[in-house]
A = this chain, B = another copy of it.
Amino acid sequence: MPADQLSTTFAALADPTRRAILASLTTGEKTVSDLAEPFDMTMPAITKHLKVLEKAKLIERSREAQYRPCRLHPEPLKDIDEWIEKYRKFWEASFDRLDDYLKQIQAKKEDNDGE
């Protein structure tokens, strides 16, 4: 619901149908019918998912005769990758070490506070 780009991207990815659509587009451009085929879902439902992906700028669309082919537009994933990068050190540390790390940071902060 929030308007910021990162939230919109995360929200678009928070649905397995939409992630499957993106995966399907990694092998090239697809029509709406192509994309709909694997799912037990009506076409309008797929149209809606595509709208969500388009608003999140994760896909782009064109026109060819009666088809509206979709293709992957992966750039917003880069932003997610950058966001998540700041957390990598936290999961790469073993659990116990993370605990130490946090305690250490906490100690440093309290030191700065003059506590």
> Which residue numbers of A lie inside 8 Å of B, CB to CB?
2, 4, 6-8, 10-11, 13-16, 19, 22-23, 26-29, 71-72, 74-75, 77-78, 80-81, 83-84, 86-88, 90-91, 98, 102-103, 105-106, 109
Contacts and interface: CB of A to CB of B under 8 A. Distances in A.
Contacts of A72: 90, 98, 102
Complex copy number for this chain: 2
Contacts of A77: 84, 87, 90-91
Contacts of A80: 80, 84
A4 B29 contact: no
A104 to B, nearest CB: 9
Contact of A10 (B4, B13, B90, B91): B13
